[in-house]
A and B are shown apart, each in its own frame.
Chain A
Amino acid sequence: MSENAVGKSTKAPKPVARKEMTKWQWTWKEMKRNYAAYLMCAPYFLIFFMFTVLPVILSVFFSFTVFNMIEPPKWYGLNNYMRLFLDDEIFIQAIMNTLVFAVMTGPVSYLLSLFTAWFINELPPKIRAVVTLIFYAPSLSTGMTFIWKILFDGDSYGYANSILMRLDIIQAPIQFFQNETYVMPLCIIVALWTSLGVSFLSFIGGLQTVPKDQFEAAAVDGIKNRWQELWYVTLPNMKQQMLFGAVMAITQSFNFGTVVNDLAGFPSVNYCAHTIMHHLQDYGGQRFEVGYSSAIAVVLFIMMIGSNMLVNKILNKVGQ
């Protein structure tokens, strides 16, 4: 760049003086001055809006219509929502299952990630890297979920069955993934197994940023044990990571339907592990009832965003 430098310094555009203009004129000037910036981020945001923002807006619109992708959508008012909540018992079951999944996996996975990250933070760096990998690996590949299918296989070759039978706890093998009693708990366990993902790494990163001298200062100030140290020194310093990790954990906790698909199939036996995601798959992907399934998507969207906002508010109050 140095060869370009001579005599070209005047080329750099100057920010426009704001005084003599209205706000809109100024904004317009600034937009023209930064036209390169818009061009540079346009490809990304075009794709982002097309596949992430637009679908949400269109889903809200379609949720008030009847639409089968062949004839144009017809206005249907709130009827899709009425049918969902008043007339669709399986949907109510799906909401309950989704909430059970979210409540059982979200907070637990969040706390497991936080405490595991905190516990391993004091290990020597090399060992910490290995331990991190062990905890993080299950979340790296959804293909690994299948190993649970082998561990809990329905015949006596399943590891769980063979142990239980040898210990004489059961007489005949249990069809774990065909049995309403076991499907949900097992899916939750496997979901937790795969859940130490982004939030876990974010906590590990956050813990590294806590200034070391603060620990020593805190010790002088009378911090008695590691729990006080965690509460008064560590957590306030990694608040940003805690908020980010919460978003990751909550969003993920609503999305464990794939684990159910892999383990118990779709639909799960008697809809016992049927979640909103499955209901959506059923009406959207198989029956092509776009209006109705859009209403399901909107409900799921509101649940995800709502719980994120709520938890964000609560976490923001902690440690103030």
Chain B
Amino acid sequence: MSKKLRTRNHKVVLNRSAGGDFGITVFLVVFGAFMFIPLYYAIVQSLKPLDELWNYPPKFYVVKPTFSNFGDMFKSMSSSWVPFSRYIFNTVLISVGGTFGNLFLGSLAAYTVSKIKFPGRNMLFSAVRLSLMFTATVTAIVNYMTMSALGLVDTYWALIIPAWGATLGMFLMRQFMVSGISDAVLESARLDGSSELRTYWTIAMPMVKPAWLTLIVYSFKDLWNTGASTYIQSEQLKTFNYAISQIVSGGIARAGVGAAAAVVMLIVPVTVFVISQSNIVETMSTSGMKD
């Protein structure tokens, strides 16, 4: 045990051994390398000019970096009659449309079940909590039938509308609201004659910014990664992620372009995450399975 008290995240840290510090550092470096190397390799691949991609053995660094792969991305699917930008447009449209619907409807529902005492609210929330325990795989078949009954198969709506009812962001927002919004403030607003809708919009929502940023990140991330879907058959409605899988199946000749597309695919959610990281961590401090 080190005798000196060191300053770290919290003011005084006791009980730290040099051996433990060393072990933890080794773990973080090794595990961090495992996590980072594939990302690094993707970036390197995306910057390699064609002749370096064909180098044997493949190199772990790039000699003459070029952005031409990113430009070629738009030409690479020339065999397909849908322009590459269309796939990106589809993904952006689905992600933005789904996220905002989920944000609005989800936060409204989260506010209602956490801050208005009405019969049935605990049951409703329990259903949401239970839904975290299984995935969309279970619901896929019936949802396909529902979509075709509604005539939504092969439209953007088939991907957007279910996203409005996504549960993770709503769940986290509700948990954050329970402790994040003071009931006394809401009560005085109600006594002032503010309607519930108005209270939600002008008082509750500004108080839970971390929670709605978290909802945006999760909803956006899920929708952004939408790949081939049973709901979508027309080529012109397919997504960016689907296009990448088509490019990558082209093998080594397309490796640079594939990596470039994968990097673009990653950069967008990473940027969204970096902007909101501290807010997400704050929201997560109230996550929990309790009522």
Q: Does B71 contact A (CB under 8 A)?
A: no
Q: Does A71 contact B (CB under 8 A)?
A: no
Q: Which of A27, A55, A156 contacts B56 (CB 8 A)?
A: A156
Q: Are A141 and B140 neighbours in the complex by a CB distance under 8 Å? A: no
The CA of A138 and the CA of B111, in the complex, are separated in Å by 32
Q: How large is the interface on B (under 10, 10 to 19, 20 to 34, 35 or more residues)?
A: 35 or more
Within 8 A of A (CB), among B107-165: 108-109, 111-113, 116-121, 124, 127-128, 130-135, 137-146, 161-162, 164-165
**Smallest Cβ-Cβ distance to A54: which chain B residue:** B142
Q: Are B140 and A280 neighbours in the complex by a CB distance under 8 Å? A: yes
Q: Which of A129, A142, A155, A294 contacts B241 (CB 8 A)?
A: A142
Q: Does A122 contact B (CB under 8 A)?
A: yes
**Smallest Cβ-Cβ distance to B16: which chain A residue:** A226
Q: Does B51 contact A (CB under 8 A)?
A: no
The CA of A285 and the CA of B106, in the complex, are separated in Å by 30
Q: Does B225 contact A (CB under 8 A)?
A: yes
Shortest distance from the beta carbon of A128 to any chain B beta carbon, whole Å: 8
**Smallest Cβ-Cβ distance to A52: which chain B residue:** B131
Residues of B within 8 A of A123 (CB): 9
Q: Are A41 and B34 neighbours in the complex by a CB distance under 8 Å? A: no
Q: Which of B60, B119, B137 contacts A300 (CB 8 A)?
A: B137
Spot the interface stretch: A56-64, A80-88, A180-188: A56-64
Given contacts A44-B109, A153-B252, contact A205 B140 (CB under 8 A): no
Q: Are A112 and B31 neighbours in the complex by a CB distance under 8 Å? A: yes
Q: Are B24 and A198 neighbours in the complex by a CB distance under 8 Å? A: no
Within 8 A of B (CB), among A27-63: 27, 30-31, 34, 36-38, 40-41, 43-56, 58-59, 62
Q: Which of B133, B142, B161, B280 contacts A55 (CB 8 A)?
A: B142
Q: Are A146 and B109 neighbours in the complex by a CB distance under 8 Å? A: no
Q: Are B139 and A52 neighbours in the complex by a CB distance under 8 Å? A: yes
The CA of A155 and the CA of B57, in the complex, are separated in Å by 11
Q: Does B235 contact A (CB under 8 A)?
A: no
Residues of B within 8 A of A133 (CB): 270, 273-274, 277
Given contacts A116-B31, A141-B266, A226-B15, contact A205 B252 (CB under 8 A): no
Residues of A within 8 A of B119 (CB): 27, 30-31, 34
Q: Are A1 and B135 neighbours in the complex by a CB distance under 8 Å? A: no
3 closest residue pairs by CB, A with B: A205-B284, A240-B288, A47-B165
Which A residues contact B (CB, under 8 angstroms)?
A: 1-2, 4-5, 8-9, 11-12, 27, 30-31, 34, 36-38, 40-41, 43-56, 58-59, 62, 69, 112, 115-116, 119-125, 129, 131-138, 140-144, 146-151, 153, 155-159, 162-163, 166, 193, 196, 198, 201-202, 204-206, 208-209, 212, 215-216, 219, 223-226, 228-229, 239-241, 243-244, 247-248, 250-252, 254-255, 257-258, 262, 277, 280, 284-285, 290, 293-294, 297, 300-301, 304-305, 308-309, 312
User: Can you show 7 pairs from A to B with CB atoms below 8 A apart?
Assistant: A8-B193, A133-B270, A135-B35, A140-B221, A146-B262, A225-B20, A304-B133
